[in-house]
Each structure stands twice: as structure tokens, then as C-alpha cells.
Structure 1
Amino acid sequence: MEVNFASMEVNSRSKILITAIAPLIWGSTYYVTRHFLPMDYPLTGSAIRALPAGLLLLLFTRQLPQGIWWVKTLVISSLTISGFFVLVYLAGSRLPSSIAALIMALSPIATILMARLLLNERITTPKLMGGILGIIGVALLLGGFSGTLDVLGLVASACAMLTSALGFVLTRRWQPPVGPATFTAWQLTAGGLVLFPLALVLEGPLPPQEPVTYAGYAYIIIFASVVAYLCWFSGLAHLQASTVSIIGLLNPLTGLLLGILLAGESLTLFQGLGCLLILTGIMWGTGTLRLSRTRA
């Protein structure tokens, strides 16, 4: 059940491709949240996303934290799961799917700085330039949006970006003593256990929903939680935190594409240029451009 890159003997590019599955899926959660899930139940929706996914993984991994890892798991899960899910849920329900996803694209710069402070990771020119190109691309994408943006949604999205970046850097710093599947199970379960009682007290039981809503919940449990987090923490186990964060720039591209194809949001010439810059930033920041030139 563990996604172990070492045992699979995959190269650096394959690690990057597997990790990239996570932001591609996460970019779609904004659309699913906004169009299929109830807006007034952010805690309940977050608990539903986390706890069933964590328990499902625990059935396969059958291993609980030991010693200090109870505390470390709670700290990391508070940043990457419970707090993050609530903030993303709020952002997804109050912002257009493309805008909510785009703000998360600022995560690479935040992660690069945090990784320098907490991990002593060197800030290399390719990663820095990749992050800068991503920011420019994001600015172009945002500049193409016309309309009113919800302030609470913007704040929630920005806080989600910062808390997740810190949680991922701490994961890399502390180096979990287990594989990605087990550690993902710990985090999702811990985050869900924190959220579930809060949801019951503050929001009450979820009223009956339409079948499409349950389908939306199933999607975020299986794909946005189990599959995406397995891929993401597999990347963090074998790639630098700053490199993984650059891959996260794929997140807004998914959100933008779904917004265009399914929500009728428009794409301008500047937004198209922004997409190109983001893709270039990802390739430069992760070293795939360099790898391509070397093998040519």
C-alpha cells in the first residue's frame, strides 16, 4: 500500500510526475466544492473529506503513531488537514474556482522561504526563477478576471496557502518514521477527529442531500484526500520541499481549466500567457528543462 519511490526505482522525473497528480486533483476541488457541496457546512464538509479517508487508509496500513509522533502528527495535521480543509472549503464556496486555485499558486515562494529558514535548503536560481515566473503567471491570470471577489474567501485562500506550506515544510524537517501511506493515514484521521466534534457542535448534523452532493463528497474523499495526499507525501519523502511546492503550481491550471470548460469562465490572451509562464516556471524550478537539455 506504500508508494515507495526507492523500491520502485523510478528516476527524478517519475517522482515529479507522480507528485504532480496531487495538485492536478486539488485544483478540481474548488469547482466541486462550489457547485456540488453545501456552502453552510465548512466544518462538516472538511470532516467528511478527512476522517473516512484516514480510516480507510488505516485499514490497510494498520499502524498507529508512537511516542512524540502523536504530537507531531497532530501539529502537522492541524496545518495540512483540519485547518487547511476548512479554509479551502470556505475559499471554494466563496470564490470562483479559478481564483481560489490561483492564490494557492503563491505557495512556492512561501515554501522556498520557509524551507530556507527551517530546513536550510539553498535557494537556487532555477527554483527562485520558477517561483517568480509562477507569480507573474498568476498575476496575469488574476488580471484577466472581472467581477467582485469575496474578501473572506480571499483571506481564507491566502491562509490555506500559508498553513499548508508550513505543514509540508515541517513534514520534511521532522521526517516521518513510516511510509507515505501510513503517514497520510495518521494525518487524515487526526485531522478528521479534530474536525468531527467541532462540526457537530457548531453546525449540527448534515441534513439530507441530493445524490449529486454525495457523489461530490465521494470524489473529495477518494481522490482529493486518499490519492492526492499519497502522491504528495510520497514526493515530500524524496524531493526537497521547495521542489514539491513548485509542482504545486499545477493547481491553478486545473482550477482555471475546469472554470472554463464547466463553469463558463472566460480565458483571455493574458491568461493564456500566464498559463505558459506557469508551466515554464514548473519545468525550470523542478529541473526538467535542465534534464531535457542534458539528455538531448
Structure 2
Amino acid sequence: MNVARRTDAVLLLVALVWGSSYLAAKTATAALPVTVVLFARYAISALACGALVAARRRGRSWTRAELRVGSLLGVTQAAVLVLETYGVAHTSAANAGLIISLTIVLTPLLDRVGSRRLPPSFFLAAGLCVIAVGLLTAGTGLHTPRLGDALMLAAAVVRAGHVALVGRLTAGRRMHPMRLTTVQTAVGSALFLPAAAPHLTDLAHSGAVTWAQLVYLALFCSVFAFIAQTWAVQGTSASRASLLLGTEPIWAVAVGIGLGGERFTLWATLGAVLMVAGTYWGQTIERAHRTVTAKTAEEPSLAATA
């Protein structure tokens, strides 16, 4: 297998792992309180990240910016996972993976590229995604969205804000990604410990299956996915990486139906198709818009040096 194919395979594996995380989280929250699941996921991730950072002692020391930015991002990331985990506990894993993919079209709205406005076609794609959410939450007919679906929708909004914040706080700064992740996981562990403390005995007496799900969420869906994504993106184009990582909702549906025994109604199936189509369309438009904006910004500097 050549380097390009190996890189594509790693990115697809990351998308698969993220897509499967919703069923793993849903199953884990059926056995343990949500706060305990969140604390365990963060604590295991923090220990793993800390060990990796300690194993690579070479290089510069930690900076105040890494600690400050990592702490802030730890709070926003914790907010995302709270909404996601409570949300998936009250809806299907497939619905959770599809609705959270709204982040793809919400992020550019919160993190505009340059001063140019997004083209009207992007808002059409976003509108298509909104219709898809309506069909997904309708199920067998029009009704008030279920609590889980509403929480996943809120998670998509907060996650988009978190992604935009990551870009703004790290732009032009020399920060080690693994150190930022270590700080975030440590902050998350500290935030969830007070709420999880009364139920830690339940965690200690959990069965092997529940522990396997927690370890999977921490080591594979968090630590491995981050490291693998960082490595793979360096070996391919951003466009190709985003295209492959954008298959996450497809894997969420496949895992939810294939392993979780979930079923879609006709309307929900149509919503799933529209969601995937809308997010891919919006992603393509935003990527093209970003490329044009970057080229336009370069033209004045090139003319000045001519």
C-alpha cells in the first residue's frame, strides 16, 4: 500500500471511529450515569495523553499560551461532550451522528473566511440540512423534537463555535497540538469529577463490556483519532482530508443500524439522505470559497512585488 492510500485509509478509519462513538456512548450511558461516562472518558484520555507527552520530553518547555488556550478550549470541548452524550442517551446513535454533522455547515457561518461573504448557494445547502433535521426528528410524523435530537442540535452549534474558537486562538501561534489536547482532557476531568464522584462506586463495579466501551471512547475516539488525523492531514490535501472525514455521519448510520439494531422510517431515511447531501454540498462550496478568497488576497502582494 503506497503512502497516499495509507493516508486515505487512516482518515477513513478516523471517520469510522468517530461515527461508531455515538453507539458506544449510548450503550455506556445505559449502564452508567452520563457524568460518570464523561469523567471516565476524559480521565483515561488525560492519562494517555500525559504519558505520550512525557515520553517525548525533547523540545521546548510548556508555554503559558498552551496552558491558557488549552484550558479555555477544555471548557468549550466539555460543553460539546455534555450535550452530545446527554443527547445520544435520548435519541438513536444514527440520528446523533447525522445531526452533529451540521457542524460542517455551521462552522463557516461562525468563522468567516476573510471579508468576503459566503455565496448564496452555501445558504441553500444549509437550508437543505435544516429540512433534513426536521425529517430526522419527525420520525413517524410531525411532532415536537425529542429531547435527544434537540440536545444534538445544540451540540452541533456549540461544536461549530468550538472549532471556530480553536482556529482563532491558535492562528499564528506556536503551540504543540498534543499538549493542547492534554490540557483539554485534564480540564475536562476536573470539571466532571464533582458530578461523577457520588457515582464512582458504580464505575468501579462496572462490567468488562462497559469498561471496554469507556476505553474505546477515550483511547480510540479521542486520543487515537486526534493523533491519526494530525498525521494523515500532513500527508494529503485539506480538501481530500475533509472529504474523507466527512463520511462520519454515514458510518454513524451504518453502525447504528448494523450493530445497534436501529431502524429508520421513510421520512427519517429521506432526512438522512438530505443531510449527507447538504453537508457535502456545503463543504464543497465553502472549500471553493476559501480557495478563491486566498488567491484574491495573494494578488495584491504579488502585484506589489512585481
> What is the TM-score when the length of structure 2 is the normalising length?
0.70
1:135/1:173 CA distance change after superposition, 3 Å:
same
Unaligned runs of 5+ in 2: 289-306
2:145 and 2:137 map into 1 onto residues whose CA distance is 14
| Alignment correspondent of 1:253 | 250
Distance 1:86 1:76 in 2: 14
1:272–1:158: structure 2 CA closer, same or farther, 3 Å change rule? closer
Contact 1:168 1:236 in 2 (8 A): no
Partner of 1:4: none
The change in CA–CA distance for 1:129 and 1:21 in structure 2 (over 3 A counts) is farther
The correspondence for 1:215, drawn from 189, 193, 212, is 212
Contact 2:249–2:276 (8 Å) recurs in 1: no
1:213 Cα deviation after fit: 0.8
Question: How far apart, in 1, do the equivalents of 2:270 and 2:186 lie?
Answer: 40
Cα distance in 2 for partners of 1:249, 1:271 equals 20
Q: Compared with structure 1, are the counterparts of its residues 150 and 32 closer, same or farther at alpha carbon in structure 2 (3 Å cutoff)?
A: farther
The alignment status of 1:89 with 2:67, answered yes or no, reads no
Give the count of matched residue pairs. 274
CA contact (8 A) 2:94 2:252 kept: yes
- Residue in structure 1 matching 2:163, options 160, 168, 173: 168
Is 1:29 the counterpart of 2:21? The answer is yes
Report the Cα offset of residue 279 of structure 1: 4.5
| Unpaired runs of at least 5, structure 1 | 1-8, 292-296
Q: Does 1:66 align with 2:63?
A: yes
- How do residues 264-275 of structure 1 correspond to structure 2 at under 5 angstroms? 264-267=261-264, 273-275=270-272
Query: What residue is the counterpart of 1:113 in the other structure?
Result: 109
CA deviation profile, 1:98-139 (whole Å, cap 9, x unmatched): 22222212222321211128x757525675555455445554
For the pair shown, the structure with the greater C-alpha radius of gyration is 2
Q: Match for residue 159 of structure 1?
A: 154
Match of 2:259 among 257, 262, 286: 262
% same residue: 22
Q: Which moved more, 1:162-171 or 1:181-190?
A: 181-190
Alignment of 1:179-194 (within 5 A): 179-194=176-191
Alignment of 1:195-210 (within 5 A): 195-200=192-197, 203-205=199-201, 206-210=203-207
Cα deviation code 1:154-206 (max 9, x no counterpart):
34322322222111111111225234333323322322232224421x54432
Contact 2:110 2:161 in 1 (8 A): yes
For residue 205 of structure 2, give the secondary structure of its aligned residue in structure 1: coil
Give the distance between the partners of 2:269 and 2:144, measured in 1 at CA.
21
* TM-score for both structures, normalised by structure 1: 0.72
Question: What is the RMSD of the two structures over their aligned residues, measured on CA atoms?
Answer: 4.0
Task: Quote the Cα distance in structure 1 between the aligned partners of 2:75 and 2:14.
Answer: 19
The yes-or-no answer on 1:103 pairing with 2:106 is no
Q: How does 1:278-289 map to 2 (within 5 A)?
A: 278-281=275-278, 283-287=280-284
Question: C-alpha separation between the residues in 2 aligned to 1:277 and 1:76?
Answer: 32
Q: Distance in 2 between matches of 1:284 and 1:26?
A: 21
CA–CA separation in structure 2 for the residues paired with 1:229 and 1:94? 27
